[in-house]
Amino acid sequence: MQNTNVAYDSKVEGEIIVTQADAVINWIRKHSVWPMPMGLACCAIELMAVGASRFDISRFGMEVMRFSPRQADCMIVSGTVTYKMAEVIRRIYEQMAEPKWVVAMGACASTGGMYRSYATLQGVDRIIPVDVYVSGCPPRPEALLDAMIKLQDKIGRERSVKNLTARNAKPTKEGSLALAGAGKES
């Protein structure tokens, strides 16, 4: 792996240690995802089922659902996003602390779903960067759990230290969509 960050190299000496730092950070992050349930429509009912005992999201270390964006790092957009609500979602997303991830749960959040209409945003990825899309209307709880495991894999593959130093090195323009996704591997 090419590490281009010289300042970091001089401190820790050697690329292999950087990889280990990534591994440690990612390992910590992926087993303590704090989801923020952005329940907007019927999909939210399945999201509740995922949190309940039968499907039990806590098996994957994600049971700490937070209703405050400042305490959460993974927004699960479960439901139909109207244009009126788009603004709210964007603001809540901006309030979440980095690193943060987004799961678009269900057809509506992913593409607008069956709501081809004047009132519905045709996919939440138009306003916030999405990491994992889940198909279904609504997706089965297993599907959401699968998506969360996929998200864990994705977190595990991130170059966290590099992202962190990159973020600290150049302050990002507030609210820019391109840079809001900077914490992610491309």
Partner 1 sequence: MVESEFAQLKERFDYLSARQSADHSAVNCPADKLVEFFTVLRDDLGYDLLVDVTAVDWDAQSPRFTGIYHLLSTTKHEYLRIAADCENDIKPSLPSLCGVFAAANWHERETYDLMGIHYDGHPDLRRILMWDEYPYHPLRKDFPLAGIEVPLPADDVAEATGVAVLPAPMMGGPFVSSADGPMSQTEPSARDESWTEQEEKPTE
116 binds, among ligand SF4, partner 1, none (CB under 5 to 8 A by kind): partner 1
Residues numbered 17 to 56 that lie near ligand SF4 (CB under 6 A) are 41-43
Q: Which of 106, 129, 141, 183 binds ligand SF4 (CB under 6 A)?
A: 106
C-alpha separations of 53 from 10, 156, 158, 172 in Å: 49, 26, 31, 41
29 or 167, CB closer to partner 1? Answer: 167
Distances (CA, A) of 71 to 95, 97, 104, 125, 177: 9, 8, 19, 22, 21
Q: Does 110 bind partner 1 (CB under 8 A)?
A: no
Task: Establish if 172 lies at the interface with partner 1 (CB under 8 A).
Answer: no
| Residue in 97, 119, 137, 177 binding ligand SF4, rule: CB under 6 A | 137
Cβ partners under 8 Å of residue 140, min gap 6: 46
Nearest to 113 by CA among 93, 134, 92, 128: 134
The item of partner 1, ligand SF4, none sharing an interface with residue 86, based on CB under 5 to 8 Å by kind, is: partner 1
167, 138 in Cβ contact below 8 A? Answer: no
DSSP strand pairing (132-134 vs 101-105): parallel
> Cβ closer to partner 1: 86 or 149?
86
- Shortest distance, CB of residue 119 to ligand SF4, whole angstroms? 13
Under rule CB under 6 A, which residues in 53-82 are in contact with ligand SF4? 79-80
- Contact between residue 57 and residue 46 where contact means Cβ atoms under 8 Å apart: no
Q: Return the structure tokens found at 60.
A: 């994957």
Closest approach, Cβ 177 to partner 1, in A, equals: 5
- Identify which of 130, 136, 131, 143 has the alpha carbon closest to the alpha carbon of residue 50: 143
Residue span 121-160 as binding mask against partner 1, x where in contact by CB under 8 A, dash where not: xx---xx---------------------------------
Q: Using CB under 6 A as the criterion, which residues of the chain lie in contact with ligand SF4 when the complex forms?
A: 41-43, 79-80, 106-108, 113, 137-138
